[in-house]
Copies of this chain bind each other. A is one copy, B any other.
């Protein structure tokens, strides 16, 4: 490893291949337990704020605005690391999730809660050999 300086935020954002809508999928993972918490989308502004503010910020496709996760719920994500995949079109965001990640109050957006009809069974029951 050389002593090269870290690229500027603009240079880092320029490495990302955003889609035709200017978005990139971002997978949020709990840094210590490695649970996959959720997948959301970032545009360049959301990524810039994520890289510089220390909190995960997404683009809400339904509300069409920046979504500073936790502003309403308090369930913020403290950013530990952000990585780009081999093709430059997916982000992996390592976070410390305060409280539940999901708006349904489950820990992750993929958790099943069979006691709650509104959350229900999120398993798709593959055939496992």
Residues in chain A within 8 A of chain B (CB atoms): 1, 6-7, 12, 15, 25, 27, 29, 33-36, 38-39, 47, 50-54, 78-87, 90-92, 102-104, 106, 109-110, 112, 114, 119, 122-129
Contacts and interface: CB of A to CB of B under 8 A. Distances in A.
Given A25-B25, A92-B110, 13 more contacts: A6-B125, A12-B124, A12-B125, A36-B36, A38-B90, A78-B129, A79-B126, A82-B123, A82-B125, A82-B126, A83-B112, A84-B122, A86-B103
Contacts of A33: 34
Total identical chains: 2
B27 A81 contact: no
A110 B84 contact: yes
